Structure 1
């Protein structure tokens, strides 16, 4: 028998639908079913393991609402990693809790067996039924489908809540990544018009890109202009300064040399056998 055959199959009524309740539906407290009992048990576990939420203090309430922090791709990445860590911890705690519950249930059922009974009078139907009920209870202790179902339900609920929190964060990270990529392309398309603008470039990569452009041959400059969408008129101003200003030319030369020296791909490799 394959391992998949032992898994619980979803109900046909839930096919193509959300099988989790999104709102509270009151249950009959006078006649709770097994599902209601198991969910109540799971809710007690959640309260015991997760605690309760403490709202803002009186001082924070008097101070008024704070402006929400500006979200970046990095802060959303941190939230995703924290959510994943918390999910792993939740699954671990639930597994430990279920294992302890299962062990206690097995011990309780084992202790129901009366070892003093060495035989049963087959004519006494009460004794026969009594021993049969105890044996059935004991034999059911090891598989205990109820525990398997409760574990599956609890894991499914935790997984569902985890994905419900994760998906919006993944969407937000993708949106912020696209925004950052668009902003980076816009920065790359801006070519400095003066030495001051070159020095005020937002990052070193931008400066190095311009420096390499100024030091490149005409054909290489054409390729770079197409890659970064620099208009020919946009590069003329700084190129004229580069040709006439010796100090700026030397600065560009040193920048390119330093970049080549720090790039391991451009370092000379030793010839085998040479000392």
Structure 2
């Protein structure tokens, strides 16, 4: 992929503007020019490399609900990862296609040289003009500025489509992260009001957090309350149950003990044998 410094830079008057047309503007088919030909080649490449496909059986398509699935942070992350992978594949395919096109065009123009005309009669103006035209055609094939511009244009269109799809996903990911953080803070601020509510907590880590709070000292409890925005009136019912219900207290003690035993950071180091 060419570096950004090697691409044609936008004009100052076009900065901050969308330089791509959002709708197709047909060209004059009676007078095809280089732009029309290059667009035709690029369209052929897109059809050959991308094509179109509708996956799934007819039964699956009919059974598909009209309501789209709700995006989560995980699904959006997958979409961004898949889009980046697909974009990399598109660039590799485009590079291979452009290299093949360039090679074929060079060969075609090189084959236009008539070796039999190398020893032309300098007095024969027809032969001299003919050889000069062939040499000019061959010399023009070497830099091929038009072809270089076609490469830039094709790459710009591919990257424009990529960024046009990527930016909404990045925005959506940012919004979902903010929403998920808000939900997590709300969830962390909730404190079970009874033993039953404690048992109904689906997240094991949250249960351990509550258990460590119940077993903690006054200073440790105050620190956790500040961290998770708990208030005294919310923690008092379960704390009272912990102090008065021997079975629940033993359950909390065993829960914390098991968590410490499974945590490798809390395992005692082995005594070295000398």
Cα separation, 1, equivalents of 2:32 and 2:13: 22
Q: Is the contact between residue 113 and residue 134 of structure 2 (CA under 8 Å) also seen in structure 1?
A: yes
Cα separation, 2, equivalents of 1:83 and 1:57: 25
Matches within 5 A, 1:4-153: 6-54=6-54, 65-153=65-153
Could you tell me which runs of 5 or more consecutive residues in structure 1 were left unpaired when the two chains were aligned: none
* 1:178 pairs with 2:178: yes
RMSD: 2.3
Offset of 1:125 from its aligned partner? 2.3
* Structure 2 residue matching 1:25: 3-state secondary structure: coil
List per-residue Cα deviations over 1:192-211 (Å, max 9, x = no partner).
11111111113011101101
* Structure 2 residue matching 1:30: 3-state secondary structure: coil
Which residue of the partner structure matches residue 200 of structure 1?
Answer: 200
Name whichever of 159-168 and 31-40 sits farther off: 31-40
Name whichever of 59-68 and 69-78 sits farther off: 59-68
Cα separation, 2, equivalents of 1:186 and 1:214: 20
Offset of 1:220 from its aligned partner? 0.7
- Give the paired residue count: 272
4+ runs of 1 displaced by more than 6 Å? 55-58
**CA distance change for structure 1 residues 209 and 4 in 2, over 3 Å: closer, same or farther?**
closer
Cα separation, 2, equivalents of 1:267 and 1:5: 56
Which residue of the partner structure matches residue 187 of structure 1?
Answer: 187
**CA distance change for structure 1 residues 16 and 198 in 2, over 3 Å: closer, same or farther?**
same
* Structure 1 residue matching 2:250: 3-state secondary structure: helix
Cα separation, 2, equivalents of 1:218 and 1:156: 63
Cα separation, 2, equivalents of 1:129 and 1:13: 44
List per-residue Cα deviations over 1:106-163 (Å, max 9, x = no partner).
1111211222233222222222222222222223333222221111111110100011
Cα separation, 2, equivalents of 1:5 and 1:196: 65
Name whichever of 90-99 and 254-263 sits farther off: 254-263
Q: Is the contact between residue 7 and residue 152 of structure 2 (CA under 8 Å) also seen in structure 1?
A: no
Could you tell me which runs of 5 or more consecutive residues in structure 2 were left unpaired when the two chains were aligned: none
List per-residue Cα deviations over 1:184-232 (Å, max 9, x = no partner).
1111101011111111113011101101111111001000001000010
Q: TM-score, normalised on structure 2?
A: 0.90
